[in-house]
Amino acid sequence: MDTRESICLFCPMGCDIAFRVRGDEVVGPEFCGPAESHAGRVCGRGLYGTELLNHPQRIATPLVRDDDGRLRETSWDTALKSAAAGLRKTLETSGPESIAVVTEPTRSREELLAAERLAQAIGTDAVYCAFEPQDWPLLAETADAGVSAIEEASCVLAIGNVFVSHPVLAKQVIEAKYTARGNSLFVVGPRRSNTAWYASSHLQNRAGTEALVLALILKSVVESGKVEVTPPAWLSEVDADSFADACGVSRGDIARIARSFVDAEKAVVVFAPPARGVSDVGLVAALARLLAGIAGTGKECVCLAAGGNSRGAVAVANAEGWKPVSELVDGLRSGKYRALVNLGADVCESYPSDALESALAALDFSVSFSMFHGVLEQSASVVLGASSWLESDGSAELYDGRVVDWKTVGRPSWATRPIAVGVDALIAQLGATSGVDGKRASREVASEVQWLGRLNAIQRSAASVPEGQMSLVSLPAAGQSASGSVTGRIDWACQMFPTGFVEISAEDVAGLGVKDGESVVVRSESAEAELTLKVTDRLARGTIAVPAYDTKSRTLFEWTSKDGWFNTGPVMVSVSGKQAS
């Protein structure tokens, strides 16, 4: 029996993982030796990800929908011919601009580039990557610092629940605090999380105001007189009192964090946003990098996305001029697109709504390369079994800019194929098409001039919560990845991380007339959901939380484009007992 190593792409840490292999069959997981970012440790989703390789629910053979509307098993050659014929028909009747291509950020660079080749072959510029809502605005074109910045820091400022979203970093963060007397860990977030338990101080801000907190820290750092660089002009116009009131934090606590950060020989900001709950994630990331830049030497910033190859996917998307996936969701719902080629994504679990499901069912033609059956596959014209990254060679760019390569650990399960192989075969069946004319437009980056206006907008929103409304945020889980469309198939993850619940503080529950474990109805402008109540002391009054990996809970968030991207902040909801509803 052999041992073969690979990389885990359930998050961008890129932990080394190993498998016991008999011939070309993966038998089970094996342990790796110490490695750079995770010291040989692997979280549960990486360890139990072996289940996906021979999962009984995998799409095992190509499927084509017949005249009776049923999916029938067929050969790859027949399925690819059907896919090419359907796409050519759409090209003839509606033109290349009516066809969209979508992939997702746990795919290797090779598979992402295959999506671009397919779009070029079709002649469409409608090519998208289904990022988690926080990832696209989070990642700048240049990489942030690596794990050594945390290991060497005497002051860590963590925004988000790092211990849960990226569990293998917990050891480094804890050691950074306890290595020497006087070291500090400050945590910013509306929930008293696992990370906050270890904090020297937990700044429990109002949901969605993390940008205001960072602006206040920046202003306090500048006012300390210890900054040698010229601060941005807009910072002098920040109304510190109104920002602090909107955040629900004291300026004294802000000053203490700022003083510790600027006085530390080495300090780091670690930003790990949830899928929904941090307003204007792009602005928060920019402010975190600005803080590291002006607070003196030895200051770093680490931004942690959700998708395993999110940074690599952003690089491809920027280079090729891909559009934000929020435009795909809007385009599908409006009927702009008549055909869709799906390369491993699950747009309905990522951005769920009844309108999107109806739009996918109404498409003239759709092809889906997928590991599992989902909403799209229920109406797809052709369904092709896609291999996971473990079943193909590939490369990815990790959170800190390192590029890693891996080899397949075993043969593809059943009759599945790597997406890049399947796409190239589809392109060959399509033959010559018109192609895309010219280079697509590059992604626009907002300037610092706009930052103060964006901060003021967050302040106004936080200061004017309607009566009877609460702020809904999402929770990450150590055993689930992103929307849970893949990890939700792992038995261990399902058992350890249930769905269908909402966390509400005891203070907020007191006025609802319901008890822990009973059903409540949560309503937003976009949907309503019946969920099981979990009474908690972790949340401040006025904020409630649902799991990010639960499709039913995700319907409560709005999934339409706002200023070119999804809203990343909390959504206002009302809650009532089931009978009162």
pLDDT number for residue 580: 52
Q: Write the CATH number of the domain with boundaries 465-577.
A: 2.40.40.20
Instruction: Please give the pLDDT value at position 295.
Output: 94
Query: Superfamily assignment of 2-52 in CATH?
Result: ADC-like domains (2.20.25.90)
CB atoms within 10 A of CB 56: 7
- Residue 536's CB: how many other CB atoms inside 10 A? 18
For residue 1, what pLDDT is reported? 81
**What's residue 579's pLDDT?**
67
By mean pLDDT, which of 154-163, 278-287, 461-470 is the weakest? 461-470
Q: 530-557, pLDDT tens digit by residue?
A: 999 999 999 989 999 999 999 999 999 9
Q: What pLDDT sits at residue 431?
A: 87
Residue-wise pLDDT tens digits, 228-271? 788 899 999 999 999 999 999 999 999 999 999 999 999 999 99
The per-residue b/e assignment along 200-227, b for 16 or more CB within 10 angstroms, e otherwise, is bebbbbbbbbbbbbbbbbbbbbbeeeee
- The pLDDT tens digits for 338-378 are 999 999 999 999 999 999 999 999 999 999 999 999 999 99
Residue 440 DSSP symbol: P
Q: What is the pLDDT of residue 421?
A: 97
**How confident is residue 37, by pLDDT bands cut at 50, 70 and 90?**
low
Q: Is 551 exposed, middle or buried (0-12, 13-18, 19+ CB in 10 A)?
A: buried
Q: Give the integer Cα–Cα distance in Å for 302 and 186.
A: 15
> Mean pLDDT score of the chain, rounded to an integer?
93
pLDDT band at 434 (very low <50, low <70, confident <90, very high): low
pLDDT confidence of 516, banded at 50, 70, 90?
very high
**In which band, very low, low, confident or very high, does the pLDDT at 143 lie, cut at 50, 70 and 90?**
confident
Q: Report the distance separating Cα 289 and Cα 357, nearest Å.
A: 38
Lowest mean pLDDT among 38-52, 139-153, 250-264: 38-52
CATH, domain 63-132+309-430, list 3.40.50.920, 2.60.40.420, 3.40.50.740, 3.40.50.300: 3.40.50.740
108: which DSSP letter? -
Q: What is the CATH number of domain 140-303?
A: 3.40.228.10
Buried-exposed string 264-282: b where 16+ CB fall within 10 A, e elsewhere = bebbbbbbbbbbbbbbbbb
Q: What pLDDT sits at residue 330?
A: 97
The predicted structure's pLDDT at residue 36:
57
Q: Do domains 2-52 and 63-132+309-430 have the same CATH topology?
A: no
- Which parts of 460-515 are beta strand (E)? 470-475, 501-505
Higher-confidence residue of 384 and 52: namely: 384
Lowest mean pLDDT among 175-184, 396-405, 428-437: 428-437
Q: Indicate whether 128 pLDDT > 80.
A: yes
What sign does the CA torsion over 271, 276, 277, 280 have?
positive
- Range of weakest confidence among 173-177, 221-225, 445-449: 445-449
* pLDDT > 60? residue 439: no
Region of poorest pLDDT, from 45-49, 368-372, 405-409: 45-49
pLDDT at 62 over 70: yes
Percent of the chain surpassing pLDDT 70: 95
Burial class (CB in 10 A: 0-12, 13-18, 19+), 431: exposed
What percent of the chain has pLDDT above 90? Answer: 79
Q: How confident is the model at residue 385 (pLDDT cuts 50, 70, 90)?
A: very high
Q: How confident is the model at residue 323 (pLDDT cuts 50, 70, 90)?
A: very high
Q: Taken in order 315, 320, 321, 325, is the CA torsion positive or negative?
A: negative
Per-residue pLDDT at 52: 86
Lowest-confidence pick of 115-119, 387-391, 415-419: 387-391
If you write DSSP's letter for every residue of 129-185 in order, what string do you get?
A: E---TTHHHH--SS----HHHHHT-SEEEEES-HHHHSGGGHHHHHHHHHSSTT-EE
Distance between CA 165 and CA 191 in Å, rounded?
A: 14
- pLDDT at 68 exceeding the cut of 60: yes
Instruction: Return the SS3 of 443.
Output: coil
Domain ranges of the chain: 2-52, 63-132+309-430, 140-303, 465-577
Any idea which of 334-348, 484-498, 519-533 has the lowest mean pLDDT? 484-498
User: Is the pLDDT confidence value at 441 over 90?
Assistant: no
User: What band does 446 get if pLDDT is binned at 50, 70 and 90?
Assistant: low
* pLDDT surpasses 60 at 437: no
**pLDDT category of residue 581 using cuts at 50, 70 and 90:** very low
Q: What is the DSSP letter of 58?
A: B
| Per-residue pLDDT at 145 exceeds 50 | yes
pLDDT value at position 401? Answer: 93
| Spatial separation of the C-alpha atoms in residues 413 and 424, rounded to whole Å | 20
